[in-house]
């Protein structure tokens, strides 16, 4: 690349060293769905059921925080990301997922395992979050829904509706939400199993898109320059 007059452009340096550590709070704009989900899980959700089965008294690698998986799963549900491999990749290159993971990077294996082990807990969690969204703001609920479908507002907001009819509407709403949640988990499990067969149970090609010999900083340039010498216009 030819040098350009410095005064015409903003500084652009991919490899610059930051003088101060980055603040995760600066990564997303106010009002982003990931911020909403993070705050909801941190302050309004009981994570007690997700703590069962953890005992690190004998040593070993500490587990990821119990808030991490629900947040990633909730956001994955909201944006339609079902593959555990793609969620793992997203913690590197998708700002919202990276924000929710607190710049940590679980591999797809524990993500899939935690999801399957906590299906009941995740089902109840997502339903609770969706209902809280619905009560607070129907638009927020529409943003979180997997397929973007707007779920009808609570019947309790209409004074003319009888108590019996209100309960019927509430039951219908819960069933619609449960079906959406169950379909998400079905797709997630099905996708993970298909990718296990396709890539192998320990491989995540989404993290390594370039073949061997192209992964370091120097290797691609060396290969491109060698190809340029062979290339004839």
> Residue 221 above 80 pLDDT?
no
Please state the domain count of the chain: 1
Residue 114 resides in a domain: yes
Structural domain containing residue 140 = 23-50+63-204
Residue 12 resides in a domain: no
Nearest in space to 75 (alpha carbons), one of 62, 86, 64: 86
Residue 1 resides in a domain: no
Instruction: Read off the pLDDT of residues 42-94 as tens digits, 9 standing for 90 and up.
Output: 988 888 888 876 665 556 678 888 899 889 998 998 888 999 999 999 999 99
d(CA 207, CA 145) in angstroms, rounded, equals: 28
To the nearest whole percent, how much of the chain has pLDDT over 90?
21
> Residue 107 above 50 pLDDT?
yes
Name the token pair of 141.
């609920």
Mean pLDDT of the chain: 78
d(CA 64, CA 181) in angstroms, rounded, equals: 24
8 A C-beta contact, residue 66 and residue 50 = yes
Place of tokens 């004839």: 232
Average pLDDT over residues 111-137: 82
Residue 44 resides in a domain: yes
Residue 78 resides in a domain: yes
Residue 149 resides in a domain: yes
Instruction: Read off the pLDDT of residues 21-56 as tens digits, 9 standing for 90 and up.
Output: 788 888 899 888 899 889 889 988 888 888 876 665
């Amino acid at each position: 690349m030819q040098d350009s007059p410095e005064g015409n452009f903003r500084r652009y340096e991919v490899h610059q060293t930051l003088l101060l550590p980055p603040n995760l709070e600066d990564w997303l704009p106010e009002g982003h769905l990931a911020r909403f989900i993070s705050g909801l899980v941190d302050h309004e959700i009981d994570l007690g059921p997700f703590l069962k089965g953890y005992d690190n008294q004998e040593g070993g690698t500490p587990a990821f925080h119990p808030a991490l998986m629900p947040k990633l799963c909730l956001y994955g549900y909201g944006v339609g990301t079902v593959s555990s491999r793609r969620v793992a990749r997203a913690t590197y290159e998708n700002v919202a997922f990276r924000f929710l993971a607190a710049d940590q990077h679980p591999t797809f294996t524990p993500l899939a395992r935690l999801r399957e082990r906590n299906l009941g807990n995740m089902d109840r969690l997502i339903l609770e979050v969706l209902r809280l969204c619905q009560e607070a703001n129907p638009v927020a609920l529409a943003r979180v829904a997997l397929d973007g479908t707007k779920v009808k507002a609570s019947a309790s907001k209409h004074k003319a509706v009888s108590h019996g009819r209100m309960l019927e509407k509430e039951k219908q709403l819960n069933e619609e939400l449960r079906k959406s949640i169950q379909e998400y988990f079905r797709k997630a499990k099905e996708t993970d199993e298909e990718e296990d067969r396709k890539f192998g149970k320990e491989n995540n090609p989404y993290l390594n898109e370039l073949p061997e010999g192209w992964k370091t900083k120097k290797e691609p340039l060396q290969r491109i320059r060698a190809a340029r010498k062979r290339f004839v216009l």
